[in-house]
Chain A
Amino acid sequence: MTELDLLYSEVEEDLRSAVRAVLADRCPPQAVLARCEGPEPYDTGLWRVLAEEVGVAGLPVPEALGGAGASLRESAVVLEELGRACAPTAFLGSAVLATTVLLAADASAELTALAAGERTATLVVALPTAPEAPFPLGVRATGTGELTGTVAWVADTPAVGLLIVPADGPAGPGLYAVEAAEATLTPRGSLDLTRPLADVCLTGAPGRLLIGPDRAEAVLRQALLTGAALLCSEQLGLAEWCLATTVAYLRERRQFGRVVGSFQALKHRLADLWLDIAGARAAARAAADALASGASDAAILVAVAASHCSDTAVRAAEEAVQLHGGIGMTWEHPVHLYLKRAKADQLALGTPGRHRAALAALVDLPAPGAVATPRVPHV
């Protein structure tokens, strides 16, 4: 087992403050709510500020290509803040999922444009796809790179410039770059108002092979694993907001002649939630650090963090709604944005149950009747 650094470095805390300041300024909950109902779900102005002033769009991109040359630990900290603000940005799809593939493909021109915030990209898979899922074969590629097929429930499509499409070609699976203008994007109604979803339809769209059959499956799995790992940090930030907001409310709200937060039944529920969040923080940091350092047990730590953080975020949001009483049920109060994001995040990139099933194989705890898998050595 690797020695993990589970704390935040000074650089990471500085990055956090910078992101938080921008979000506080441009993305208060009421603004998020208003935007979700408008025609432009993503705040492209916010994205430009985050990309140009804070440099978040190209965190793991090498400095030579205009990125920050940072590690996934820093991206995780950004996601904590985006989760805390329930911010409508394309960070997960563009700066995490698509960027992981583009880095593996050494796609310099695309990475440069992404890091500069000039374009965004997304990975064309159904958002619920788990890292260990089989390579999706819904899109067919011809030998000359024309792509045909439909992928439903794709995230981060509004205002997207570049699509990274897994497709099955004559030589086997590949990952292709397609200009979004060549595809038909049909928005879906989405449970999570702040992360719109769409169906991507390709009919003979010209694609450029980024990763060939030799590595396509492994690179896609790595991208999904990275996404699942970093989503934990978004869930952590989201859960922390729910707890802090609820505590603040219960310290003010009075019933029965006393502050509601002085009732022990509520105090104990919040203490338990705090405990789960403390666990989520440790697990999310571990997953990010393990991926950043290329630890051999990274997949185990991601499965553990993904199942724990997903459930913790949902619980935090559900408790927040309940403990706000009637106010919590209103459209005006932003807590529903967090509930919707938390529930959608629980399905994204593998449900907790799927991650635990993956874990069962990784640590050799087979289900009844399953054939025993070779034990992964714990180093």
Chain B
Amino acid sequence: MTTAEELRTRTADLLAAHDPAATEPLEFLRARFDAGLAWVHFPPGLGGLGAPRALQAVVDAELAAAGAPDNDPRRIGIGLGMAAPTVLRFGTEEQKQRFLRPLWTGEEVWCQLFSEPGAGSDLAALATRAVHEAGDAEGGGDGPGGHWTVDGQKVWTSSAHLARWAILLARTDPDVPKHQGISYFVCDMTDPGVDVRPLRQLTGEAEFNEVFLTGVRIPDAHRLGAVGEGWKIAQTTLNNERVAIGGHRTPREGGLIGLLADVWREQPGARTHELHQRLLQGWTDAEVLRLTAERLRQQLAVGQPGPEGAAAKLAFARLAQQLTGLEVELLAEEGLGYGDWTMSRPELVDFTGRDAGYRYLRAKGNSIEGGSSEILRNIIAERVLGLPAESRSDKDVPWKESAR
């Protein structure tokens, strides 16, 4: 087992061989990946050392202290949070070797082609079709495994306009019940059949997109896991997504509560007793969430997130909405302003760099994206507490016969 001391030594060696001040950021990041210091809990050769996940903090702290460049996790959140753990768990050796390094360095951005106009909360109802065509032994038709032709429409796809690759769920067998006929693919977003169109959202900008897939050709080698196993694999992605959204590591009074606390300290004139009570309640809630996420991380030091991961995401959404609403009120007149309604195509969701009105509006998405709060409560009630599931009339019906 790798110890904190060994990681410090390794990090020092990396810094000695690649002086951050004199090395191209991308080159440094590649070297860091190759040294196994990207995500230390990943296996050797894939950016890690098979070390306990908790030890990542040791490496990060040393590198930050040395002024090393980082891979801007906010910009590549879907790749890091959702695609990577899924590829690691279900990918072939070739897929892992091909995808993980440029994913981690940020050279290749990923997006998630899951939701459809007719399938959001009920994701397993998705209708995008993938049809198989065999190839030949000589390598024609993408070789012996052949390829898949994908047609359908996806929606709410964050970062599709920036993405090189997508994780994609598509229906490969309409004759079986909806959960069984789904397969999981890696889709090349530069394929000519992929059409990405901006969808403007209530903040004014277009962070997500509609994606039209027309005759998109995906080699069988880019299928993840077995045909028909897509739903099971998607659970890994979704569980990791919830932890990625709700479980980030923040310092005490980091993030939204920090902004609010600063306003409180700097503007005594805005203080009222009622706001003070809500501020202190928000502060304790933020600290409890920070500790809950930290405890989740300590539990995750071994193994994959289970349904408990929904907790941090659910709490995060509730808190973000409570705090951003309070901030607008606290700012009084200034809270009435809004920076810029011009339609733009942002590279990331910038919660702390924008004004209070933006934060208030964007936080409304926190209880919808990555599984709505209602769905997360269902998951906790059914899979954690063991309460009976809703009756689902379409569960055993072949997908093509179910009412949609």
Interface residues of A (CB under 8 A from B): 1, 4-7, 243, 247, 250-251, 258-259, 261-262, 264, 266-268, 270-272, 274-275, 278-283, 285-286, 297, 300-301, 303-305, 307-308, 356-357, 359-360, 363-369, 372, 378
Contacts and interface: CB of A to CB of B under 8 A. Distances in A.
Given A268-B377, A304-B288, A365-B283, A274 B271 contact: no
Contacts, number: 136
Interface stretch (B34-42, B119-127, B196-204, B384-392): B384-392
Interface size class of B (residues with CB under 8 A): 35 or more
A367 B387 contact: no
A365 B391 CA distance: 49
Interface in B87-119: none
Given A267-B377, A267-B378, A367 B276 contact: yes
A265 to B, nearest CB: 10
B389 A262 contact: yes
A285 B253 contact: no
30 contacts: A6-B294, A6-B298, A7-B299, A247-B385, A251-B386, A261-B388, A262-B387, A262-B389, A262-B390, A262-B391, A268-B374, A270-B385, A271-B314, A272-B377, A279-B288, A279-B291, A282-B292, A282-B294, A285-B291, A285-B295, A305-B288, A307-B284, A356-B277, A356-B280, A363-B261, A365-B264, A365-B265, A367-B271, A372-B265, A378-B252
Nearest to A378: B252
B381 A268 contact: yes
B361 to A, nearest CB: 24
Contacts of A275: 311, 314-315, 380
A359 B280 contact: yes
Given A243-B385, A247-B387, A372-B265, 15 more contacts: A4-B294, A251-B388, A259-B388, A270-B387, A271-B378, A281-B295, A282-B294, A283-B288, A283-B291, A304-B287, A360-B280, A365-B264, A365-B276, A367-B276, A368-B273
Closest 5 pairs between A and B when the two form their complex, measured CB to CB:
A267-B381, A262-B388, A282-B291, A271-B380, A271-B377
Interface of B: 251-253, 261, 264-265, 268, 271-273, 276-277, 279-281, 283-285, 287-289, 291-292, 294-295, 298-299, 308, 311, 314-315, 374, 376-378, 380-382, 384-391
A6 B291 contact: yes
Contacts of A308: 284-285, 288
B183 to A, nearest CB: 31
A279 B252 contact: no
Contacts of A359: 280, 283-284
Contacts of B283: 359, 363, 365
A280 B251 CA distance: 19
Contact of A274 (B264, B281, B287, B380): B380
Contacts of A272: 377
Nearest to B376: A271
B253 A267 contact: no
B262 to A, nearest CB: 10
Contacts of A283: 287-288, 291-292
Contacts of A365: 261, 264-265, 276, 279-280, 283
B385 A271 contact: yes
A368 B388 CA distance: 49
Contacts of B291: 4, 6, 279, 282-283, 285-286, 304
Chain A CB within 10 Å — which of B311, B315, B389 has the most?
B311
Contacts of B374: 268
A190 B264 CA distance: 41
Contacts of B315: 275, 278-279
Nearest to B265: A364
A270 B298 contact: no
Contact of A368 (B271, B294, B377, B390): B271
B281 to A, nearest CB: 7
A4 to B, nearest CB: 7
Contacts of B311: 274-275, 278
A328 B228 CA distance: 48
A275 B377 CA distance: 9
Contacts of B378: 264, 267-268, 271
Chain A CB within 10 Å — which of B284, B298, B384, B391 has the most?
B284
A12 B277 CA distance: 36
B387 A261 contact: yes
Contacts of A250: 387
A372 B264 CA distance: 11
Contacts of B252: 1, 297, 300, 378
